[in-house]
Amino acid sequence: MSEVTIRVATPDDLGVLSELIAASYAMLDNGAYEAARLAAALPIMSRANPNLLASGTYFVAEADGEPAACGGWARETPGTGEIEEGVTHIRHFATHPAHLRKGIARLLLDRCLREAAASSAHVIKSQSTLMAESFYAAAGFRRIRLMEAEMAPGISLPVVEMARDLP
């Protein structure tokens, strides 16, 4: 059993987390998404987001010192950047394929839920990939609607908007 630790990501993690996210998001090519649309979106989605890395609320989970998963939360709505009072957002979760189903993303999610609750938000939302819906549902998120997440002009993918109340 690996020892898992969580630390705040920094801009220096750009390269290593882009590799991790690219390996993780390649798993989305499992037939659930239309191949051509996924091929257009993957290069954009698979890069670590410099703004998140600098935010102080984006985390790296390391297993025996090696990056195994990443994810965070933010007040800004993904895509639009709008801020809605009391509402927070899950951002860019990914577990490396070598570390799936070890509870590592859940550790990161629990950290996000605790911090978002402490920020006095009352709800947290997620734009979940089709693959991740069960992961968020297991943590108490409910499906709101299927929507299109725009990655760049003319490039979008269906995601499941989900939400969970915060204590």
Ligand X SMILES: CC(C)(COP(=O)(O)OP(=O)(O)OC[C@H]1O[C@@H](n2cnc3c(N)ncnc32)[C@H](O)[C@@H]1OP(=O)(O)O)[C@@H](O)C(=O)NCCC(=O)NCCS
> CA separation (Å) from 67 to 40, 70, 71, 162?
26, 8, 12, 27
Q: Is 132 a residue that touches ligand X (CB under 6 A)?
A: yes
Residue 6 C-beta: closest distance to ligand X, Å: 12
Q: Rounded CA gap, 126 and 129, in Å? A: 9
Q: Is 100 a residue that touches ligand X (CB under 6 A)?
A: yes
Q: Is 129 a residue that touches ligand X (CB under 6 A)?
A: yes
Stretch that binds ligand X, among 4-12, 19-27, 114-122, 148-156 (CB under 6 A): 19-27
Residues binding ligand X: number (CB under 6 A): 22
Stretch that binds ligand X, among 3-11, 51-59, 133-141, 146-154 (CB under 6 A): 133-141
What are 106's two structure tokens?
Answer: 């859940």
Q: Is 25 a residue that touches ligand X (CB under 6 A)?
A: yes
Q: Is 46 a residue that touches ligand X (CB under 6 A)?
A: no
First vs last C-alpha separation in the chain: 31
Contact residues for ligand X, defined by CB under 6 A? 24-25, 27-28, 69, 93-95, 100-106, 128-129, 131-132, 134-135, 138
